[in-house]
Amino acid sequence: MSLKGKTALVTGSTSGIGLGIAIELARQGAHIVMNGFGDVDAPRRQIEACGVQTAYHGADMSKPAEIEAMMAFAAEKFGGVDILVNNAGIQHVSPIEGFPTERWDAIIAINLSSAFHTTRLAIPHMKARNWGRIINIASVHGLVASKDKSAYVAAKHGIVGLTKVTALELATTGVTANAICPGWVLTPLVQKQIDARAAAEKISTEQATRELLGEKEPSLQFTTPEQLGAMAVFFCSAAAANVRGQAWANDGGWTAQ
């Protein structure tokens, strides 16, 4: 399968899962609009090594006006977004009664509302071409809960719901919307949780990693960004043209329990 001539916008593609997905889409020939914070040059080189063009926009996904500017930028650079991957996300772990209200607002804005804004702005171009793929990076936490993750679980359940509505509204078009629900993936977002656990329990990072996996993920293995990238590529394929509104886990058995 080739995605030559297509443009993919991957939010939060400077790191972790977003970068893994951007690389796999680029390997299929899609030009990539990158977004996210931190170092841009190294991830950009990794994507461009696949022989595609990139453009970068540093929109803060908690700010609708910046998201609008990013979508306009993508249209100006490449004529529009054919594949939209809503991936940018943050985490904060705390019981509800002590959960900082500004962290709640930030998680809902970045992990959920941003996908509403990119989606509403991407649909007209996709409908006009009668081809498009909207891929929302939810989580197992879009399907089940864990304690101390109220905002994250609410946002991820929300994005699974948004995925279903998007898919239904576009069901008679060539535009599909689906969600990917990873279990643990060893990215900076999860490394922070491992480090916090090691510090709290005064144990080694290795022991904290074993405990983290053992608690929830029966395979005792991390899912990799490359594996999630391959799932995104499948959603872009002709074989997935009638897969609509699904939330597919890649979680080592987490949600089978």
Residue among 133 and 156 whose Cβ is closer to ligand NAD: 156
Q: Does 89 bind ligand NAD (CB under 6 A)?
A: yes
Kindly write down the DSSP assignment for every residue of 73-121, as one continuous string.
HHHHHHSS-SEEEE-------B-GGG--HHHHHHHHIIIIIHHHHHHHH
Whether 56 is a known active-site residue: answer no
Among 29, 53, 60, 131, binds ligand NAD (CB under 6 A): 60
Number of helices (H), then strands (E), belonging to the chain: the values are: 9, 7
Residue among 35 and 163 whose Cβ is closer to ligand NAD: 35
Distance CA 162, CA 168 (A): 10
Q: How many residues belong to the site for ligand NAD (CB under 6 A)?
A: 28
Q: Does 188 bind ligand NAD (CB under 6 A)?
A: yes
Which residues are CB-neighbours of 32 under 8 A, at least 6 positions away? 7, 8, 9, 10, 13, 22, 25, 26, 47, 52, 53, 54, 55
Choices 14-22, 75-83, 167-175, 242-250; region in contact with ligand NAD by CB under 6 A: 14-22
| Catalytic entry in 56, 78, 104, 152 | 152
Q: Does 137 bind ligand NAD (CB under 6 A)?
A: yes
Distance CA 177, CA 51 (A): 27
Q: Which residues would be at the binding site for ligand NAD (CB under 6 A)?
A: 12, 14-18, 35-38, 60-62, 87-90, 110-111, 137, 139, 182, 184-185, 187-190
